[in-house]
Each structure stands twice: as structure tokens, then as C-alpha cells.
Amino acid sequence: MKNRIAFALLLASAACWVPVDKGRQMDARIQRLEAESAATTQQIEEQRNLVRDRIARVDQKIVEVQKKLDELNTTAHRSGADVVANQDRMQESLTRLVGQLEEHQHQLQLSEKRLAQLQSDTEARFAALKGAGALEDYEGRKRAETLKRPSDKSEFYALAMQQEQAGERAVARQLYDEYVKKWPADPRAADAWFRMGEISFGEKRFREAVLSYGKVAQDFPRSDKAPDALFRTGEAMMSLDLRDDARAIFQDVAKRYPKTTAAKKASARLAEMSKSSKKKTPPKQ
């Protein structure tokens, strides 16, 4: 019963559904992880800024010392001994400053590595928290990072389709997700949401499929993908064994889009469900 209520709320609000108790636990863990990550990132950023400031000051000192050395080399009115003594002192200062600069640069490199490792570890931990399929998404994002993003939205969408057709579903999902964030009101965003739903459905990630299909039905009700998205939502509900919710969805498809192929499929599903219910109903005594 709890699952049915939760999915009804999902359809009404398109919000992310998780079982209540586990959802609260996961949200709390994610919030703690976000807070820890933010605090650590801030500390590392502060260290990086401090080291960069030190490097800038040492660089300036090196310039000043080098300038004085150059002046000494061109000074003619001092005795040779005085020039040599001053040159030695300045050279010692320069050597010391160069050593400090190298140490600060090394510290900066370590900070950069720590920050990169922190980001990688945090993403991996988030992937583990988010459950089945999240690791594939994480790896897909990493592979997607190697791809050059076209600035033209048609070419961007074509790249996502190409990745999906090549079997790189996790990469395609990442690109489709980027597409709907870059161009949320573009008509092709409906197609991108639908493709994300299809990818999730094919991987038996039915909850995520419902969310993606729901975005099409909710935000693009006049899109040519809307009837199919609504029908596929019902199919996902069936796969989750939420037959009553699925029946309501199929009825909605037939009512809202009566002349479409999706409506015919929905009517056929309703007929199948009706026959199945009659078979399960025990005969009257």
C-alpha cells in the first residue's frame, strides 16, 4: 500500500520517489556527505589560495633580488670586493627564495591532487548511496567527460543518439541529461527525456523510467512523444507490480490521446488486465 501511495504522489508531482524510511536514511547520509565534502573542499581551497599568495610574494621577491643583482653587476663606483660580497649575499637570498618557491609549488600540487581525489571519492560514494545503476552512471559520466561537446543543440542531441546507438547507454544518458539542462524548453528536450526513460526501462530501472517519462507527460503534453511516454509509464508500473496505478495510466492514455497508437496499445493492455482479473476471480457458489 505504501508503494502505491508513493507512486501516486510521484505522478502528481514528478518528485523523486523512494520508500519513506529508506528514503529518509539515504537523504540524511547524502546530506552528511555533502556537508563533509563541502567543508573539506573549503579547507583545501583555502590552503590553495594561501599557497598561491605565498608563491606570488616569493615571485615578487625573486624579481626584486634579481634586479638588485643586475644593479650590482653594473655598478662601477664600488670596489671589486664590495661588489663580490654583495653579489654573494644576494645570490644566497635568491637561492633561498627559489627553494621556497619550489616548496610552495609542491604544496600547491599536493593540494590539487587532494582536491581531485576528494571529488572522485565523493562522486563514488554518492554513486554507492544512490543504489543500483548509479555506478554505471558514474562511470558513464567519466567516459562522457572525454567527449567534446558541440555548441549546436542539434549536433549535441545527435552525439547523444550516436552514443546510445553505439551501446554506450550510460554515456548517452549523461548527454541527454545535459541536453535537458542546457535547453529545458526546447521541443527536443521531450525526446531526450523519453530516451532517458527508454534507457532506464531497458536496464529495468523502472522507478527512474517513470520519472523520465513523467517529465515528458508533464512538461511537454503536446509533444508527439507524450502519448508514448504516458503509455510507457504504465508499462513501468506493471513491471513494478503496481497494477492499479498502471490501469489508471492506461485509461488516461486512451482518454487524452484517443487517436494515437499509444491509445490503442493502452486499450489492449486494459483488455488484457480485465481478462486476467476475471480469470482470477473465483466463481460464485
Residue 112 confidence (pLDDT): 72
Residue 100 confidence (pLDDT): 76
Name, in order, each residue with C-beta under 8 angstroms of 182's C-beta and a sequence gap of 6 or more: 153, 156
With a cut of 60, say whether residue 127 has pLDDT above it: no
**130/55 Cα distance (integer angstroms):** 41
Average of per-residue pLDDT values in the chain: 77
Tens-place pLDDT, residues 151-209: 999 999 999 999 999 998 888 998 999 999 999 999 999 999 999 999 999 988 888 88
Residue 139 confidence (pLDDT): 75
**Mean pLDDT confidence for 250-275:** 93
Q: What is the DSSP letter of 15?
A: P
* Letter string b/e over residues 48-71, b meaning 16 or more CB atoms within 10 A of that residue's CB: beebeebbeebeebbeebeebbee
Longest dimension (CA), the chain: 127
Q: What pTM does this model have? A: 0.55
Span between the terminal Cα atoms of the chain, in Å: 30
Greater confidence, 137 or 2?
Answer: 137
- Residue pair 69/97 in contact by the 8 Å Cβ criterion: no
Tens-place pLDDT, residues 57-103: 777 777 777 777 676 666 645 555 565 666 677 777 777 777 777 77
Q: Which of 182, 268, 256 minimizes the C-alpha distance to 226?
A: 256
Which of 20-24, 110-114, 231-235 reaches the highest mean pLDDT? Answer: 231-235
- Domains of the chain in sequence order: 2-130 (1.10.287), 141-278 (1.25.40.10)
DSSP 209-273: HHHHHHHHHHH-TTSTTHHHHHHHHHHHHHHTT-HHHHHHHHHHHHHHSTTSHHHHHHHHHHHHH
With a cut of 90, say whether residue 278 has pLDDT above it: no
With a cut of 50, say whether residue 107 has pLDDT above it: yes
Greater confidence, 232 or 92?
Answer: 232
Residue 18, CA distances (Å) to 2, 176, 216 in order: 10, 23, 21
Name, in order, each residue with C-beta under 8 angstroms of 189's C-beta and a sequence gap of 6 or more: 179, 180, 183, 219, 220
With a cut of 70, say whether residue 122 has pLDDT above it: no
Residue 52 confidence (pLDDT): 76
